[in-house]
Amino acid sequence: MKHLTPKETAEFLHANPDAVFIDCRSEWEFLFVGHPKHALLIPWYEGENWDINPRFLGEVRIAASHQRPVVLICRSGNRSREAGEFLEQHGFSDVYNVLYGFEGELDDDHHRSTRNGWRHDGLPWEQC
């Protein structure tokens, strides 16, 4: 798996229009916190107990096939790294993780989006 900063990710997606950009956060995060424009929602964890989504692999296979690059983003880069490792274990070879994710690392006051991340870097995003 390769790791890209948010700005490197935006450049990669622009240069590779066949890449599939997957937001693997929960539906609630995607809808109410916001998400990168053109990202496809396929949660890695779901439900009230945050179980691994049993449909994750199948949904990614439908969206991407094994031949297209898969770029994963989550809140901070941790879930997307886990999901990327899972995809690699299941035959995906061109997987990218967005470092710092959508909201970025926590600052000294335990706030996000103040140090790094997709939103902090001013990259295109939207909120439903």
Q: Give me the number of domains the chain comprises.
A: 1
Query: Within a domain: residue 120?
Result: yes
Query: Within a domain: residue 111?
Result: yes
Could you give the percent of the chain with pLDDT greater than 70? 100
pLDDT of amino acid 113: 82
CATH number at residue 84: 3.40.250.10
Of 72, 66, 122, nearest in space to 89 by CA: 66
Contact 60, 9 (CB under 8 A): no
- Quick count: other Cβ atoms within 10 Å of Cβ 60? 25
Query: Within a domain: residue 38?
Result: no
Query: Within a domain: residue 75?
Result: yes
Query: Within a domain: residue 105?
Result: yes
pTM reported for the whole predicted model: 0.94
Range of the domain at 119: 2-33+53-126
Tokens at 121, concatenated? 């870097």
Distance, CA of 54 to CA of 56 (rounded, Å): 6
Query: Within a domain: residue 42?
Result: no
Query: Within a domain: residue 108?
Result: yes
In three-state secondary structure terms, 94 is coil
In three-state secondary structure terms, 4 is strand
Tell me the pLDDT tens digit for each residue of 56-101: 999 999 999 878 999 999 999 999 999 999 999 999 999 999 999 9
